[in-house]
Structure 1
Amino acid sequence: MYNKSKLGRTLSDIQNISMDNNYLAPKKSGIKIENISITKIRPNINQPRKDFNLDKIKELAKSIKEKGVLQPIILREIENNLYEIIAGERRFRASTLIKLETIPSIIKKMDDQEIFEIALIENIQRDNLKPLEEARGYKQLMDNYGYTFKKVAEIIGKSRSHINNLVRLLSLPNDILDKINSGKITIGQAKVLIGKDNISTITQKIIDDDMTVREVEKIYDKEAKFNEKSILDPAIRTQALMTEQQLNAIFKHKVKIHLKMDGSGHVKIMFNNLDSFVNSLKEVKIN
């Protein structure tokens, strides 16, 4: 479980010496900076940020080529005399691009949890993460380190509803998540799709018709209303109503048929107590 005060000190230290650009010198004096061989440095495989804009990396590489690495990266020592990046992966990538042999670095002692927390918080504070990267970061804190929604909200500085809404997006199918990442649908539109039926068809309709969030909500509002003419064929609705009446007579309980847009659905039988329902089943010879 996280130690908030410990993390706060660690994050403060990192923020004092590390911004993800090449223009700020260390804010604290007395910090030891070492030139570490590029070949000994490894990216953090648990880095929440997965998408690095190549054009921006090239811009940073051009700046480093002209002025050098003005801001050291932050590393921790791992096995076999190698180092793992805590902060500054963009500078590392840019330096690799122009084939620098060494890069100014500050070595810190941190465990996996501290590193992940810091990487996630830094990226969120600097708006570096895409929404789904942010969501996966929150989920990893909960799955790997036992965080609750409340504790994630406290340490990240976001509301619980924000955390919950983003994590819920991950329940959507991968093809829908891909469309979120590519910008074909918005987070607001995607939220409406969570837990709904026929979402692939609706998603394509969102894209084709350039629908607003409210228009997407209206589609499902209509689906939820059994008598909405724009959703179901009149003949199908009539057949369903007649079947409801027949089932009401058979079971002697109120029966409701719920139809979905694709023609599938489910039957709901309502009763006041279980005994009366069981007796009605016996009468129609259903055991």
Structure 2
Amino acid sequence: MAEGRRGLGRGLSALLGEEDAPAVAAVEGRPTEGAREIPIELIHRNPGQPRQHFDEAELAELETSIRASGVLQPILVRPSPSKAGEFEIVAGERRWRAAQRAGVGAIPALVRELDDHRAYEIAIVENVQRSDLNAMEEARAYDELMGRMGYTQEKAAAAVGKSRSHVANTLRLLQLPQPVQEHVLNGRLTAGHARAILASDDQEAIAEQVVARGLSVRDTENLVRAKAAGPKKASGPRRAPKDTDTAALEADLEDVLGMSVDIADRGGAGEVRIKYATLEQLDELCRKLTRI
């Protein structure tokens, strides 16, 4: 990937007014132009914007702020590909929406000449770096970015400033059935819930139980394990419940590995089971275990 691509995160901050303007030229490789006021009716959302859901409470809070102080940070736009004299949002749609609701007539904006691929890449970085995407939108955005740009997971991770394992684990959410994806998309399930559900053979049924009962991520993991174990047999030794230290160690390992971990301790001896869902996860596990 070119040096400019690797510097995209820093350059984006500059474009959005968070750093000195010279940083933009270094990243974009072109002269910079200061923000200007553009009539709000000449600005349109990008239909390919990776973020589709906007929190109503956050919009209302931003609207109140804009009514009191105006739009303090310019949005990033490009000339509209289909409407002469008008503009398409690259980054800052939430500010634009709130400004419309506040009745603002014009909004400060930075105009940049960007092709479709570059505009989409910046839109993803802006959203991901500001934690504005939910896990499902993030997974779809990475998938779209890799498809449009021909990126590998490593290149996609470098572009958005995330680790390869984070991108790989997020992309796994696309393996979920559509109804489960919708739960994540609409905030009824978190990324942690979704990763736990991935280990189940009956993902839709598990998801419905989790949503209906309001289960935590840990409860969801336990439910998935219980379903996988099947009905308890009447005979045979009963497995003792895990002590607090063992359960905490499992949770720590799962956070580090991004995979389901089960520790079976029998008086100081036992085994550790790590469950992976894809070959990429296995590859990442091997990298971690063999790292010197």
TM-score of the pair, normalised by structure 2:
0.66
Structure number with larger C-alpha Rg: 1
Out of 41, 46, 57, the residue aligned to residue 44 of structure 1 is 46
Q: Which amino acid aligns with 1:42?
A: H
Q: Distance in 1 between matches of 2:107 and 2:94?
A: 12
The DSSP-based 3-state class of the residue aligned with 1:51 is coil
Partner residue, 2:243: none
CA deviation profile, 1:128-177 (whole Å, cap 9, x unmatched): 11111111110001222211112112222222222122112112112111
Deviations 1:110-134 (A, max 9, x none): 1111111112112211111111111
Counterpart in the other structure of 1:222 = 229
The number of residues matched between the two structures is 220
TM norm structure 1: 0.67
Q: Is residue 191 of structure 1 aligned with residue 184 of structure 2?
A: no
TM-superposed CA distance for 1:196, in Å, is: 4.3
Please show how residues 55-70 of structure 1 align to structure 2 within 5 Å.
55-70=57-72
CA contact (8 A) 1:189 1:216 kept: no
Equivalent positions of 1:1-287 (< 5 A) are 3-8=1-6, 11-18=9-16, 27-28=20-21, 31-78=33-80, 79=82, 80-194=84-198, 196-208=200-212, 210=215, 212-223=219-230, 229=233
Task: Select between 67-76 and 178-187 the one with higher mean Cα deviation.
Answer: 178-187
> Once superposed, what is the RMSD of the aligned Cα atoms?
2.7
Call closer, same or farther: CA 1:187–1:9 in 2, change over 3 Å: closer
Cα contact 2:177–2:203 (8 A) shared by 1: no
CA drift of 1:208 comes to: 4.8
1:49 Cα shift?
1.5
**Unaligned runs of at least 5 residues, structure 1:** 231-287
Q: 2 CA distance for matches of 1:33 and 1:159?
A: 33
Distance 1:194 1:87, change over 3 A: same
1:192-222 per-position Cα deviation (integer Å, ceiling 9, x unaligned): 4337433222223334553624313413541
Verify the 8 A CA contact 2:77 2:110 in the aligned structure 1.
Answer: yes
1: CA distance, partners of 2:12 / 2:205: 46
1:185 deviates by 3.5
**Contact conserved, 2:139 with 2:174, CA < 8 A, in 1?**
yes
Would the aligned equivalents of 1:77 and 1:109 in 2 still touch at CA under 8 Å?
yes
Identical columns (%): 32
CA contact (8 A) 1:75 1:106 kept: yes
Q: Letter of the aligned partner of 2:2 in structure 1?
A: K
Runs of 5+ in structure 2 lacking a partner?
Answer: 23-31, 235-292
- 1:103 is paired with a residue of what secondary structure? strand
SS in 2 for 1:81: coil
